[in-house]
Amino acid sequence: MAGFGAAKKMQEDREEELPPVSTPTKAKAKKTIDPFADLRAELGLLHQQQPKSTLFALIAGHENTGKTAIVLDAFSKSDTEGQLWILDFDGGGAGTASAFHANNDQIRCWDPWVMQQGDRTAYDYPGTHDRVMKIMQFAVDIARKQNAPDYTGERLWGIHVTGVDLWDGVCVNNMRIIDLNLARDGIESADWNVKVGHQWDWAIRKTRFHQLTALSRALVKAGVNVFWETHLRMTNYSFGKNEETAKWRPDCEKATNNYVYQILMCERNDIYDDERRDIIRSEFTVTFDKSKTNAELQGQRRTILVTEAGKPARWIGLPELTDGSL
């Protein structure tokens, strides 16, 4: 018994020396942070942020082919509230508005040009670039605010930029004067004996030009119709060597065709008197050269105006600009 008792006591002593056994506790759950919370919230609203307009049209043609006329006519026939702003580089917007829509005070013509004072050049190209940006930013501000149900200020139906080819010239001159320091004004900038140093420097002109694109797309997204008007230039034309294969295409920065939704080509077909060679009939047409928003219109041609000697002019216009076809 003595041996058994001693052994039992030794066992008890060992147990007392062992550290107490701890009861496991539940670990506190870590708070999970969603790294995509902001995008998840935005995703839920994207269906409300689709473009509210599908009109971003490049209208191209030679002079006197009805480019400005179809836009002002469409605005006058629209039944929506708002103004049509014309960023009038070539003056054609003000001329057409004055001649045919003098009583429509909702057509507002902005003069984008800033004039020089006390210098040998007429235009202040850096000032003009800044003014265009300011007007377009003002338009975007109105376009976004006018979608609010309690908005009571000015409203915009559309923006029409006449002479986008002249805007391109503003961008080229700013590149040469401001960005590359190749000229001190527009006259020196016109001297193409002073070459742009590297081919990739032309990306500066492209970037300047497409600031107008970015602001125009913001307007379309907010529900404002945007029209760019330009003239034509002959492509693949190099000192007469390949004149036969050259085509007349819109005169603007070459990537522009990729960004607009529609390209409308305006033409005039004149019929002459065989004996006196006088024009006895002219037919003005518009061809849907690009119709991203309505495939059925692709390649279609519409007559917008017919004039005949001794008869009243017959104006038809382009209904697709107002009837929802585009």
pLDDT on residue 83: 97
Consecutive 10-residue runs of the chain (326 residues): their mean pLDDT?
A: 58 59 64 90 84 89 96 93 96 96 96 90 94 98 94 95 96 93 87 79 92 97 96 70 75 91 97 89 97 96 96 96 90
What DSSP letter does each residue of 152-209 carry, written as one string?
A: -S--EEEEEEE-HHHHHHHHHHHIIIIIS---SSHHHHT-TTS--S-GGGHHHHHHHH
Which amino acid makes up residue 284?
A: F
Note the pTM of the prediction, 2 decimals.
Answer: 0.85
Taking CB atoms within 8 Å and a gap of at least 24, the contacts of 30-36 are none
> Cα separation of 218 and 205, whole Å?
21
User: Taking a C-beta distance cutoff of 8 angstroms, is the pair 68, 88 a contact?
Assistant: no
> Cα separation of 55 and 221, whole Å?
10
What's the farthest any 2 CA atoms get from each other in the chain? 150
Q: Which fold has domain 51-266?
A: Rossmann fold (3.40.50)
- The closest of 233, 231, 83 to 160, measured between CA atoms, is 83
Distance between first and last Cα of the chain: 109
User: Taking a C-beta distance cutoff of 8 angstroms, is the pair 87, 182 a contact?
Assistant: no
DSSP 320: G
pLDDT on residue 119: 82
- What's the full length of the chain, in residues? 326
- The closest of 283, 288, 315 to 301, measured between CA atoms, is 288
* Domain positions in the chain: 51-266
- The closest of 101, 81, 109, 88 to 167, measured between CA atoms, is 88
Q: Does residue 287 sit in helix, strand or coil?
A: strand
pLDDT on residue 194: 81
